Structure 1
Amino acid sequence: MRIGIPTEIKNHEYRVGMAPAGVSELVHHGHSVLVQRGAGAGIGASDADYTAAGATLADGAQAVFAGSDMIIKVKEPQPQECALLRKDQLLFTYLHLAPDPQQAQALMASGCTAIAYETITDDRGGLPLLAPMSEVAGRMAIQVGAVSLQKANGGLGVLLGGVPGVPPGHVVIVGGGVVGYQAALMATGLGARVTILDRSLPRLRWLDDQFKGRAQAIYATQQASMTAFADADLIVGAVLVPGAAAPKLIRRADLSRLKPGCVLVDVAIDQGGCFETSRATTHQDPTFVVDGILHYCVANMPGAVPRTSTHALNNATLPYALALADKGWQTACRDNAHLARGLNVHAGAITCPEVAQELGLPLTRVEAVLG
């Protein structure tokens, strides 16, 4: 199969769809890989590194898209990239279509087949291709939240870890999944007071056992949540409904109950955000203020640490990329029902139930596509 790796063009996105080590594996399996010149610059991978791995270099995205059967990316295709996609071409990347009807329509119009990292599942009910970036984003949420809390950046002026004689900052994490757990690890490591809100009793028990009193795991009733929010210095939104838009957990009317200068970090912004006042921002201009509350809503947080993120993501995506390339996407999806859950768009139709429901579009079932 001919596989294309274009340069990512989203604002301040430095990751790359496949590192040289992954390219080498694909070539070893007999596939040809076309890499856009400079695609790996953000992770310190030179064009020479890619040619040494067996790739062919291409000048510009148009050449990569035109010369490839499968495109492997990191972030959702931008409008100019959607225009380069074609019928019978496979796109393998993050899509996050539920809050993005324009992208959904563009992919449908292209006629391509699109498999989304974020809806592929595993035997344990997890999301194995979302997990590595959730780990990065969860840890980064505390890092960027701590910086945003600095007074010069618009925050409360609170040091999360405190100092002797002064209490630490209070971090409230909404959602105890992969993002929430990683955020809690970082926050407790800094010495902050940490509250995790979730509605899964098994997960709350697991979190309680993991942190052994260093963080409070609380059932997220409306009353308990608002009590925690009112006392928080930093709130991390980490709620995920696979494939669907994130629920709105803090409404605009609730902001008046928060401390002025409190920081909201919305890690769910890729899926529309879990705060009503959230809107996607970029690393170039990451924050904004609504009613005295500082919001951090960067839609590609892991892109700020591309070396760590690319290698972590490639470790997860490579086995699936190999299966798709070795078998073809239809056979690979027939052989692996979890991979088939990643199929979001095919031949002008939406094939992911959650996306179809959120966007109010007709659903073509994966079973019908795969025969």
Structure 2
Amino acid sequence: MEIGVPKESKDQEFRVGLSPSSVRVLKESGHQVFVETQAGNGAGFNDDDYRISGAEIVSTAELAWNRELVVKVKEPLVSEYNLLQKGQILFTYLHLAADRKLTEHLIDSGVTAVAYETVEQPGTNRLPLLTPMSIIAGRLSVQFGARYLESQQGGRGVLLGGIPGVKPGKVVILGGGVVGTEAARIAVGMGAAVQILDVNVDRLSYLETLFGSRVELLYSNSVHIEAAVKEADLLIGAVLLLGRRAPILVSRELVATMHPGSVIVDVAVDQGGCVETLHPTSHTNPVYIEEGVVHYGVPNMPGAVPWTATQALNNSTLPFVQQLANSGLKALEINPSLAKGVNVQNHRLVHPAVQEVFPDLVNS
């Protein structure tokens, strides 16, 4: 099969869909891989690295897109809509619940769009292609939050770890899944006072085995959220509902009660965000101030560490890419996990969770 790897076009998105080592594996299986020139530069892979691995370097995005299977990292942007082709398989992160326009264009194009974030292992609720980026985003959320708490960055000047004689900063994490757990690991390591709120009591029990008394674990309800958010120096949104928009858990009124210069990092922003005042930003302009609070809303946070993130992503995606390359659409019949990743096929919106978000598009 011919596989295309375009250069990512999202602002400062330096990850790449396939690493040179992944290209070599696919080449050894008899597939042809076409990589847009400089697609891997930001992740530390130059064109020669890809040539040595057996890829053909192409000079334009069109030449990379004009293939049976296109492997990317992030969703197509408006500038790429005209490159979508009927009968093509697109394998990438999509997060359609937060992007009606893209959903409509994918339906119109006739592509089979398989989203990394909805590939699911049946019966386990595990999302194997979302997990590595969630780990990275969770860890980065505290790293970035600590940075923007610095007064020179607009923050209130709090050192999360404190020092003897001065209390540490308070980190509040909404959601105890992969993102929330990894955020807590870093925050605890820095010496912060940490709270995690989640609606799953079993998950809270599991987190107790990880953190013991180092993290305060609370059932997530409006009363507990309100009390925690008011005192937070750093608030991290880590809510995930598979394929759906994140629920708004923090209202504008509640944000207004936070300490001036406190920081919000909402990792759920690519699914709409769980904080009313937060909207998507970019690596070029990552923050803004609303109600006196610093808001960080970059939806592709792992793009800040592309060398690590590209390899972590490829470790998880390569087996699925191989199946699609070897068997085409029959791979969806062979592998139930991969089938669950299909969001759009045959001009139809097919993923149940995304259908709930856009019911009027189901029969369009």
State the TM-score, normalizing by the size of structure 2.
0.98
For 1:64 and 1:256, the matched residues in 2 are separated by 47
Distance 2:10 2:359 in 1: 27
Instruction: State how far apart, in whole Å, the 2-side matches of 1:362 and 1:217 are.
Output: 40
Letter in 1 for 2:24: S
For residues 362 and 291 of structure 1, the distance between their equivalents in structure 2, rounded to whole angstroms, comes to 36
TM-superposition CA deviations, 1:276-322 (whole Å, max 9, x none): 11110001000011111110000110001000000000000001000
1:211-269 deviation digits (Å, cap 9, x = unpaired) = 01111111112111111111110000000001000000101111222111111100001
* Mapped contact 2:229–2:254 kept (Cα < 8 A): no
Counterpart of 2:285? 285
Gaps of 5+ in 1: 365-371
Cα distance in 1 between the residues matched to 2:215 and 2:22: 38
* 2:359 matched residue in structure 1: 360
Deviation at 1:79, TM superposition (A): 1.3
Task: State the match for 2:101 in structure 1.
Answer: 102
Cα-to-partner distance string for 1:137-174 (whole Å, 9 max, x where unaligned) = 00000000000101111111100000111010000000
Instruction: Indicate if the aligned counterparts of 1:145 and 1:234 stay in contact, CA closer than 8 A.
Output: yes
How many Å separate the matches in 2 of 1:41 and 1:261?
Answer: 36
- Could you tell me how far apart the structure 1 residues matched to 2:280 and 2:256 are? 22
Structure-2 residue corresponding to 1:338 = 337
1:156 alignment partner AA? R
Q: Is the 2:230–2:254 Cα contact (8 Å) retained in structure 1?
A: no
How many Å separate the matches in 2 of 1:235 and 1:353?
A: 31
What is the letter of the counterpart of residue 142 of structure 1? V
Q: Distance in 2 between matches of 1:3 and 1:145?
A: 38
2:309 corresponding residue in structure 1: 309
CA distance in 1, matches of 2:95, 2:86: 21
Q: Give me the whole-angstrom Cα distance separating, in 1, the residues matched to 2:40 and 2:255.
A: 41
Q: Which residue identity does 2:247 align to in structure 1?
A: P
Whether 1:20 aligns to 2:27 is no
Once the two structures are superposed, the pairs formed by residues 77-88 of structure 1 within 5 Å of their partners are 77-88=76-87
Deviation (angstroms), 1:109: 1.6
Paired position in structure 1 for 2:224: 224
Alignment of 1:160-171 (within 5 A): 160-171=160-171
Aligned mates of 2:360, 2:181 — CA distance in 1 = 34
TM-score w.r.t. length of structure 1:
0.96
Q: What does residue range 201-240 of structure 1 map to in structure 2 within 5 Å?
A: 201-240=201-240
How many Å apart are 1:362 and its aligned residue? 4.0
Q: Distance in 1 between matches of 2:289 and 2:256?
A: 13
How far apart, in 2, do the equivalents of 1:275 and 1:39 lie? Answer: 34
Separation in 2 of the partners of 1:361 and 1:46? Answer: 44
CA contact (8 A) 1:353 1:363 kept: no
Question: Could you tell me which residue of structure 1 aligns to residue 73 of structure 2?
Answer: 74
**In 2, are the aligned partners of 1:16 and 1:73 still within 8 Å (CA)?**
yes
Distance 1:137 1:178 in 2: 9
AA partner of residue 118 (structure 2): T
- Percent identity, aligned pairs only, is 47
What is the match of residue 320 of structure 2?
320
CA contact (8 A) 1:83 1:106 kept: no
The 5 Å alignment of 1:176-187 reads 176-187=176-187
- Whole-angstrom distance in 2 between the partners of 1:264 and 1:361: 33
Q: How far apart are the structure 2 equivalents of 1:41 and 1:155? A: 33
Secondary structure of the structure 2 residue equivalent to 1:146: helix
Matched-pair contact (CA < 8 Å) for 1:248–1:274: yes
- Asked if the contact 1:288–1:295 (Cα under 8 Å) also holds between the matched residues in 2, the reply is yes
2:47 maps to a residue whose letter is D
Native 8 Å contact 2:162 2:168 kept in 1? yes
State the SS of the aligned residue for 1:18. coil
Does 2:273 correspond to 1:273?
Answer: yes
Contact 1:352–1:363 (CA<8 Å) still a contact in 2? no
Secondary structure in 2 matching 1:268: helix
- Structure 2: unaligned runs, 5 residues or longer: none
For the residues of structure 2 that align with 1:52 and 1:255, how far apart are their CA atoms?
Answer: 52
SS state at 1:165 partner: coil
1:360 Cα deviation (Å)?
A: 2.7
* 3-state SS of 1:334 partner: helix
Whole-Å separation in 1 of the counterparts to 2:306 and 2:93: 15
Asked if the contact 2:19/2:40 (under 8 Å) is kept, the reply is yes
Give, in whole Å, the separation in 2 of the partners of 1:319 and 1:360: 33
Opposite residue 335 of structure 2, the aligned amino acid is: N
Task: Say whether the 8 Å CA contact 1:36–1:58 is kept in structure 2.
Answer: yes
SS at the partner of 2:97? coil
Q: Which amino acid aligns with 1:349?
A: R
Moved more, 34-43 or 251-260: 251-260
For residues 34-67 of structure 1, give each alpha carbon's deviation from its aligned partner in whole angstroms, at most 9, with x where no partner exists. Answer: 001111100111111101111111011011112x
Whole-Å separation in 1 of the counterparts to 2:171 and 2:81 = 39
Counterpart amino acid of 2:216? Q
CA RMSD of aligned residues (A): 0.9
Q: Which residue is 2:118 aligned to?
A: 119
What SS does structure 2 have at the residue aligned with 1:98? helix
1:261 partnered with 2:261: yes
C-alpha displacement of 1:347: 2.2
What is the letter of the counterpart of residue 306 of structure 2? Answer: P
1:55 aligns with 2:55: yes
